[in-house]
Chains A and B, each alone.
Chain A
Amino acid sequence: MISAVTIPAVVWQMSCVAGLLAIAAFAIVLSRSTSSTAAVYGATLVICAAALLGSLRWLLGDAVNSSDMTLPIGLPWLGAHFRLDALASFFLVVVNLGGAAASLYGLGYGHHDPAPHRVLPFFPAFLAGMNLVVLADDAFSYLLCWEFMSLASWALVMAHHREPGNAKAGYVYLVMASFGTLALLLAFGLLAGPAGDYGFAAIRAARHTPYVAMLVLILMLLGAGSKAGLVPLHVWLPLAHPAAPSHVSALMSGVMTKVAIYGFIRVVFDLLGQPTWSASVIVLFLGGITAVMGILYAMMEKDLKRLLAYSTIENIGIIFVSLGLALAFQANDLKLPAALAFTAALFHVLNHSFFKSLLFFGAGAVLTSTGERDMDKLGGLIHRMPLTSFVFLVGCVAISALPPFNGFVSEWLIFQAVLQSPELPQWALKIMVPAVGALLALAAALAAACFVKAFGVTFLGRPRSVAAEAAKEVDRYSLSAMFILAALCLLAGILPGLVIDALSPISMQILGSHMPIQANEPWLSIAPIAESRSSYNGLLVMVFIAISASSAVVFIHRFASRALRRGPAWGCGFSDPTPAAQYSGESFAQPIRRVFGTLVFHARDHVEMPAPGDVSPARLGIELHDLIWEGIYQPLAGAVGLAADRLNRLQFLTIRRYLSLVFATLVTLLLVLAIWS
């Protein structure tokens, strides 16, 4: 790292990006040779690690400053600006950590890919795109890099385009990504104003009227929200994320959604200046709905990767709730609670990137060794893939927000921020925040239920198919990537004070305040406001659990009977030997489907009983409706189709009519211009 001392940090990061782009270019040439998989993933791993070290060093060291750089490309009068500050460096850490883990995983997983030449060039390009979005410091480069990121990920979604459903996933993703970019384009247009200065520094310095600020917020919710997966803009996400190869799914779910959140924070918190409280109402509302809807969808899902994608939507909802809280407190000048909510949001961003990548890697491992994503055809993998199932279990515990893992800490911080809401002066917020808090608690409990289902049906029980019975443990590269992420989940859970302190420069930069320095707390515990109010010590909780569990074990093995006998499971007089008689994912979801699904999904169970004397089997069918798809997108698609049919007539006009049409358009436009000015 001697070179990083002498060259500016942003140049270091940009050279890493250039390195990634170079790998992408080489991969196009090399991708058909046999050793290219290892070469590409190995090189990407090295460069991501370098970028990770650079950004981590910046975040922990010089984060109060910023490092700028201008390239003579892009708009002629503007150039392309890139800048590294505290916020950017944190998201670079998230991007490159995810990238390094995915590359390490890819070293093993990539060998199973049937079409490596469709993945290898786009993988480093996708990572470069995400790095560039975070580094961009003017609207033009931002949008350009954003589109580059979207297109690279679209190519990866379409990598296995012949598999059923993937073409549709790619199409829906493309449409939604274009829509999101349109919203971002309009948002930046409003921000730049009539003067048209697209540099972020100029936008930050300008004053924005409340109407413009509100409009920009809504456009950002549409633009960044559609990329992050806010309900009801989430429809592409559960189609596209699972369609990509698993390490790319991990990047899309664990990292790309975070880049969208970065965009939201950059514009709404940084560029817009002081927020208004009414903005926070919208964000809180959408976040709460997204959290609960996302996890309910996940609960109903039986495809493991789609379940994980829906759970990403839930976590995005949690992050948006936390950001909404930060907006509400900041609008009322409550500095400390705002810093608490904002830090909690960033902490959850980091945590989600850890455990979601881990879980997608685990799903990928299951997919390579069994060829199955349908949970109802799996089961019993804990005996055949012990290491994978162990790390997957760690991921499940962490994402279910259970102590002592990291997911709990960030959700605990968010609840602490929710408990600060009585200080808010607005009645709407006073009533809304506890209700959103209850929604968060519901989402957290449903997440635990959902991951009991995911782990229980996939890894426990008896194998439900031949493929599950023949499963083998995966290769060492994949395992080491998963183990590193699992260790990070535990470390961030037991040493949360270190993470909070590392995040304080960002909150200082964006909000002008930060949480109390946690390094001063005794015993490495964390206390967001004051110890008498609330405190938590993950390390001690873990040590206590370890001590009491091991003392129980020692006691039992000393004084109790150690006899153990294996026998068949107790079936209450009816032992069905077929594994199909086990609880499946759908039957596990039945109680929750009955309680929530009748309202949210119009779920119906119907039983087909054959007539007496008929020997055909009785059938139980489940009917679920995706009301958002059927209520919003299908009518929209129908309207577009109808309009296209009507406009079709324009394709068969004579040349005279075309000319008169062009003339009429020209006259109308000139008239509009004349009246406008």
Chain B
Amino acid sequence: MVVMSDILVQGAQMLLVLLLAPLLTGFVRKMKARLVRRQGASVFQPYRDLLRLLRKEVVLADNASWLFRVTPYVTFAAIWVAAALVPTFATGLLFNWTADLIAIVALLGSARFFLALAGMDVGTSFGGIGSSREVMIAALAEPAMLLFVFCMALVAGSTQLSTVANFMASSYVGLRVSLGMAMIALIMVALAENARIPVDNPATHLELTMVHEAMVLEYSGRHLAMIEFGAFLKLLLYISLIACVFLPWKIAVFGTGPLSYAIGTVAYLVKLAAAGFFLALFETATAKMRVFRVPQFLGAALMLGLLGTLLLFVSKSF
């Protein structure tokens, strides 16, 4: 019986992230539109887009292989599993210990690996340019991400996100310079990983600076729906990650009953909305940078992570 309810809560989280992800993207798009005084599409537009794509036929390039057709499902599954392992409304869920933060990042790496391969599959220059730039950005983002993990593990003594969230929610942690640096580093990495401005532009796929959208240019129909859904989930995942490490406010501890779950869920929704708003604000206020400026951007994230780590070595209280 206990196991059943554990599985139910875990299943609820898996469905929750699935249901919320398109809404979050819709909300960010709406906010961006409103910030430039446009009406914008409804926040539910991403759901409609997905449904429309599911109804359309797939147009497959002549020499696309089985890998091209399998990739959408593999990437979607890997991102979904990763998103389900990040604590959202409650910590310590049944399967949270299946993977720690390093493994979650690696799962996202698996998804990217297959997408980059799919970009190479058809044999056009568009896929190649997207794939090669995507792996370059990943190669720069991953060390920065690891230094963030290092900084976090130094403070919380764990890479297990549930443990980290519980520790951060406790009263031992005040405002710290090192954590501030780590947070900025993580946000920079998250912007790069989600192909957001200033690293990439998610709204267009027909300009020469494109990265992610060029890689998936050949996809259509249900395959494209899966890939889009994966991208929505990834954005939600990174926001959940930032929220659970740096703002574990009101997050429910596992087994405390439905009421605290409800409070946790409401708090989670508030956090998502706030993060979505700030993302829209930032994207409206910033211009996209040239591709070969990205190394400097991510190098700064790396340095911030290293600095945060070194500060923690100087004194645990920084």
Contact = CB atoms under 8 A, between A and B. Distances in A.
B73 A397 contact: no
A412 B102 contact: yes
B1 to A, nearest CB: 18
Contacts of B121: 382, 456, 460-461
B159 interface: yes
Interface residues of B, number: 86
Contacts of A449: 116, 135-136, 138-139
Contact of B107 (A403, A416, A419, A552): A403
Interface stretch (B24-32, B57-65, B248-256, B270-278): B57-65
A588 B119 CA distance: 11
Interface string B90-125: 000001011110110011011011001101111111
Nearest to A535: B97
Given A564-B60, A566-B62, A571-B124, A452 B131 contact: yes
Contact of B158 (A412, A446, A534): A534
Interface in A549-608: 549, 552-553, 556, 559-561, 563-572, 579, 581-583, 587-592, 594-595
A383 B121 CA distance: 11
A226 interface: no
Given A448-B135, A572-B126, A456 B116 contact: yes
A465 to B, nearest CB: 14
Contacts of A489: none
B245 interface: no
A29 interface: no
A441 interface: yes
Interface string A402-442: 11000010001001101100100001001100110111111
B99 A536 contact: yes
B157 interface: yes
A337 to B, nearest CB: 13
Contacts of A535: 97-98, 100, 160
A535 B78 CA distance: 18
A583 B120 contact: yes
Interface stretch (A9-17, A264-272, A525-533): A525-533
Contacts of B110: 397, 402-403
B287 interface: no
Contact of B58 (A440, A460, A525, A565): A565
Contact of A591 (B106, B116, B136, B226): B136
B242 interface: no
Nearest to B105: A441
A460 B117 contact: yes
B179 to A, nearest CB: 16
Nearest to A383: B65
A160 interface: no
B54 interface: yes
Interface string A375-410: 000011011001000000100010011110000100
Contacts of B113: 397, 400, 402, 448, 451-452
A124 B121 CA distance: 40
B102 A583 contact: no
Given A452-B116, A544-B98, A552 B73 contact: yes
Contacts of A412: 102-103, 106
Contacts of B67: 382, 393, 460
A591 B109 CA distance: 19
A307 interface: no
Contacts of A533: 157-160, 163
B150 A461 contact: no
Q: Which of B65, B107, B136, B217 is most buried by chain A, counting CB atoms within 10 A of its CB?
A: B136
Contact of A437 (B97, B133, B146, B217): B146
A559 B54 contact: yes
Contact of A438 (B73, B100, B306, B310): B306
Contact of A442 (B116, B142, B158): B142
B7 interface: no
A408 B106 contact: yes
User: Chain A contact residues: over half helix, strand or loop, or mixed?
Assistant: helix
Q: Which of A402, A431, A461, A569 is most buried by chain B, counting CB atoms within 10 A of its CB?
A: A569
Contact of B150 (A419, A427, A453): A419
A381 B142 CA distance: 31
Nearest to A382: B65
Contacts of B65: 382-383, 460
A255 interface: no
B123 A401 contact: no
B123 A525 contact: no
Interface in B128-170: 128-129, 131-133, 135-136, 138-143, 145-147, 149-150, 153-154, 157-160, 163
A556 B160 contact: no
A462 B95 CA distance: 43
Contacts of B109: 400-402, 445, 448
B80 to A, nearest CB: 5
A484 interface: no
A587 B58 contact: no
B222 A556 contact: yes
Contacts of A565: 57-60
A588 B125 CA distance: 10
Contacts of B123: 379-380, 460-462, 569, 579, 582-583
A25 B86 CA distance: 61
Contact of A541 (B99, B131, B206, B225): B99
Contacts of A534: 100, 102, 158-160
B194 interface: no
A422 B146 contact: no
B292 interface: yes
A179 to B, nearest CB: 34
A73 interface: no
Contacts of B98: 525, 535-537, 540-541, 544
Given A438-B302, A533-B159, A545-B78, A556 B54 contact: yes
A455 interface: yes
A347 B213 CA distance: 38
Nearest to A551: B77
Given A403-B106, A460-B120, A541-B103, A419 B136 contact: no
A549 B71 CA distance: 10
Contact of A566 (B60, B100, B159, B221): B60
B268 interface: no
Nearest to B81: A544
A142 to B, nearest CB: 38
A397 B97 CA distance: 23
Nearest to B135: A449
A444 interface: yes
B132 A591 contact: yes
A210 B127 CA distance: 57
A328 B310 CA distance: 19
Nearest to A440: B146
Given A438-B306, A445-B143, A535-B160, A567 B60 contact: yes
B122 A461 contact: yes
Given A445-B139, A457-B120, A559-B54, 13 more contacts: A379-B123, A383-B63, A415-B149, A441-B143, A452-B113, A535-B160, A541-B107, A549-B74, A560-B55, A569-B122, A579-B123, A583-B132, A595-B140
28 contacts: A397-B113, A402-B106, A408-B103, A419-B153, A434-B150, A441-B145, A445-B135, A448-B139, A452-B113, A452-B116, A453-B132, A455-B117, A461-B121, A462-B63, A532-B158, A534-B102, A534-B158, A541-B107, A544-B95, A548-B80, A564-B57, A565-B57, A565-B58, A565-B59, A582-B124, A582-B125, A583-B129, A589-B132
Interface of A: 379-380, 382-383, 386, 393, 397, 400-403, 408, 412, 415-416, 418-419, 422, 427, 430-431, 434-435, 437-442, 444-446, 448-449, 451-453, 455-457, 460-462, 525, 531-537, 540-541, 544-546, 548-549, 552-553, 556, 559-561, 563-572, 579, 581-583, 587-592, 594-595
Q: Which 5 A-B pairs have the closest CB atoms?
A: A583-B128, A456-B120, A563-B57, A461-B123, A549-B77
